[in-house]
Structure 1
Amino acid sequence: MATTRPQDARPAPAEDRVTREAALAAARARFTAGDRLDMRSLAEQLGVGRTTLYRWFGDREALLGEILAGMSRRTFQQATATTPGVGAERAFTVLRDFMQTTADYPPLRAFAQREPGPALRVLMADDGAVTGALREGFGAVFADSRMPWVGPQLVEVMVQLATALQWAPIVIGEDASIDRAITLMKGLAHPPQAG
């Protein structure tokens, strides 16, 4: 019969049991429940040090950005999968559905209204995860719509326009200006004139 040495009987440190993915899932669950995401309480819940969370994600806003970027990608996939048609009409229907779904999502809306500064930084940071996910989503929508003239620069303008007209009003307690954003994006997306 083998004997167990005392050091073999000790459980592994908590940081060895909790993965980055598990921490991201726990943070996402807190956000989805409408709770304020706090690095200290998340670390306590997971049984890891705050330094581990900072090493995995950077700061709180970077963690929120990663959560919201993932949600954005899934929302784009859903809107794209459920919208029939082709061409520009379909592209703008997908974008409208995406914007309306995200604007109406209670945890995201509550975050924007409860913490306007951090929310706008997370949602609109030029080099942030959310803006990156939006560039991907808008770019894919226009690529699928057979609108090759809508290139990366125009996609960038539309992402900034849509984000500003969606989230700035929500932050100040008004309705998102989705119809206005769609109208302006349609104006920008006209095909080049031959001649």
Structure 2
Amino acid sequence: MSSQPTPLSLALSQRKSDERATPMSAFRMARRWWLEGRRLNLSLLAEELGVGRATLMRWVGNKDLLMGEILWSQYKNLYDEAIERAEANPKLKGIDFLAQIYTDINIALINGKAMHDFLRAEPQWGLQLLTSNISGLQSRLIETWRKLFEEQIQAGNINPEMDAESLAYFIIRIGEGAIYCDLICGRTPDPEPASTAFRLLVNGHSR
């Protein structure tokens, strides 16, 4: 006579299906690897997830796009935190508000261990991902800043000579040169020149 299954035995029998890998679990694992300083290997990732490489590729597109999602998630977290800090300071208005956000993000990128490890281990690929649009990252950065600039222009807080999209493009390019190139060359980046250039572009003066 067979005994009735217990809740525990049912849970254990369902555990494998409940823990089936998904596109999000692939992203989370890949992001954790990156934060730990591990190289992104899609074959190993697929094996760890218990799926075929073809399935993983269908989920993430390719290695460049997956890494772009990881880098974007990192930047977006820093951006959101910088926005929150700037909005909490009522003294920050207009160019000071924007420059504080830009500088905070650049300092966080400079101090981030994962970014240091990544660019030291894979400088050529890292620079391609960060400074071109092969991963979709750059267009997201430009669009994020374009929206912020447009909000500030429409609110009458800044009156730049360039349009919002051009401003966004150039401030992202300045950040790339001031941070990533120095990191790859083994120099300690200085956020101050980038902040000065930001003010000059957005407001026409450095202070």
Distance 1:89 1:105, change over 3 A: same
Gaps of 5+ in 2: 1-13
Q: Aligned to 1:56, what secondary structure does the other structure show?
A: helix
2:64 counterpart letter in structure 1:
E
Q: How far off is 1:140 after superposition?
A: 4.0
Q: Give the one of 109, 121, 124 matched to 1:114.
A: 121
Distance in 2 (alpha carbons) for counterparts of 1:41 and 1:152: 39
Distance 1:152 1:46, change over 3 A: same
Q: How far off is 1:168 after superposition?
A: 0.4
- Residues 11-32 of structure 1, C-alpha deviations (whole Å, 9 max, x = no match): 9x98x93110111011111111
Distance in 2 (alpha carbons) for counterparts of 1:86 and 1:127: 35
Stretches (4+) displaced over 6 A: none
Gaps of 5+ in 1: 1-10
Matching residue of 1:167: 180
Distance in 1 (alpha carbons) for counterparts of 2:168 and 2:32: 31
Superposition RMSD in Å = 2.5
- Residues 20-73 of structure 1, C-alpha deviations (whole Å, 9 max, x = no match): 011101111111111111111111100111112221222212111111111111
Q: Give the one of 31, 34, 38 matched to 1:31.
A: 34
Taking structure 2 as the reference length, what is the TM-score of the superposition? 0.79
2:183 counterpart letter in structure 1:
I
Q: Give the one of 63, 66, 87 matched to 2:94.
A: 87
Q: Aligned to 1:131, what secondary structure does the other structure show?
A: helix
Distance in 1 (alpha carbons) for counterparts of 2:67 and 2:110: 16
Distance in 2 (alpha carbons) for counterparts of 1:133 and 1:178: 22
How many residues are aligned here? 182
Taking structure 1 as the reference length, what is the TM-score of the superposition? 0.83
2:110 aligned with 1:97: no
